[in-house]
Amino acid sequence: MSGVVSGLLVVRAGALTTVQDLGRPGYAHLGVPRSGALDVGAHVLANRLLGNPPDAATLETTLDGVGLRASAPVTVVVTGAPCAVRVDGRPVAWGAPVPLRAGAELEVGAAESGLRGYVAVRGGFAVAPVLGSRSTDLLSGLGPPVLSAGALLPVGLPGGDPVPGVDAVGVPGPPAELVLPLGPGPRADWFEPDSVARLLRAPYRVSARSNRIGLRTEGGPALVRRRAGELPSEGMVLGAVQVPPDGLPVVFLADHPVTGGYPVVGVVAPGPALDAAAQARPGVTVRFVRGR
């Protein structure tokens, strides 16, 4: 994006709204988390609907949406968690490009299901990049701050691709049950075999303590160790399923730390399953199944 053509003023910031793109992979050796959009599919779809590149920055909202006012004509789209979308109080399409005139107010409502919405603008949000990414990282503090009312978000120049000719897009809704394919983990041998077998049979629930760092579970059987002691800190990857002393699995998401000392029983590969984890509300059933 070679310049800034307009901006969007934050009228209502919502519970937790951050700027996200595809993150900062490749800096773990420097202690920098990857960050980036939790629901990568919804983020990429929002950009595709506007003719943006996949790594253009969007806004990630949490549960109760966001309110924005355009300083100049722009085109926006909302994806992710289904919600009501209004411009100057009038209903407009969710999941489709919506033009805003200068001065128009976009209201992205509360999620009707799921948890996180994505607001894209043609040209992308042109906040200053840090280490090649515009993502807000809640763990390290890198990137732009969490949105607050009164902030002005610059919008970049549109690229060469036109806005695709679509009226709306159909996407699957957030799952009623979260199914996570669990590939082999480097420390599965730290747990009793029958305990790991129960992990793959018994249901858990999404804990209210979950956040962008990790999806915490509750309500299922605690994993029982067969080895005592603790590991020295070792590298962690996106989707690693770490088991803290309480025995309840934690699935690492985009803002996860780059190292950790609790054993990793398995790994959920990036893709649709982790995207679904980004939309799983507290109380949703979680099942781990055998993956690759």
Distance of CA 71 to the CA centre of its chain: 27
The closest of 5, 114, 14, 29 to 61, measured between CA atoms, is 14
Measured CA to CA, the distance from residue 166 to residue 89 in angstroms comes to 23
Measured CA to CA, the distance from residue 151 to residue 154 in angstroms comes to 10
Measured CA to CA, the distance from residue 31 to residue 271 in angstroms comes to 24
Strand pairing of 240-242 and 204-206?
Answer: unpaired
What three-state secondary structure class fits 217? strand
Query: At CA 45, angle to CA 75 and CA 292, rounded to 5?
Result: 165
Evaluate whether 68 touches 105 at the Cβ level (below 8 Å). yes
pLDDT tens string, the chain, 292 residues long: the values are 445 567 999 999 999 999 999 999 998 888 899 999 999 999 999 999 999 999 999 999 999 999 999 999 999 999 999 999 999 999 999 999 999 999 999 999 999 999 999 999 999 999 999 999 999 999 889 999 999 999 999 999 887 666 766 655 666 667 789 999 999 899 999 999 999 999 999 999 999 999 999 999 999 999 999 988 888 889 999 999 999 999 999 999 999 999 999 999 999 999 999 999 999 999 999 999 998 7
CATH topology of domain 177-290: Cyclophilin (2.40.100)
Evaluate whether 24 touches 36 at the Cβ level (below 8 Å). yes
Measured CA to CA, the distance from residue 153 to residue 6 in angstroms comes to 9
pLDDT at position 1 is: 43
- For residue 43, the one-letter residue type is H
What three-state secondary structure class fits 45? helix
For the chain, the structural domain boundaries read 4-156, 177-290
What three-state secondary structure class fits 173? coil
Query: At CA 208, angle to CA 202 and CA 211, rounded to 5?
Result: 105
| CB-based burial label for 120 (10 Å; 0-12, 13-18, 19+) | buried
The closest of 208, 200, 215 to 266, measured between CA atoms, is 200
- For residue 116, the one-letter residue type is R
Evaluate whether 83 touches 65 at the Cβ level (below 8 Å). yes
Measured CA to CA, the distance from residue 270 to residue 268 in angstroms comes to 7
For residue 100, give Cα distances in angstroms to 43, 68, 70, 235, 257. Answer: 20, 10, 7, 45, 39
For residue 113, give Cα distances in angstroms to 84, 239, 253, 281. Answer: 11, 23, 20, 8
pLDDT at position 2 is: 46
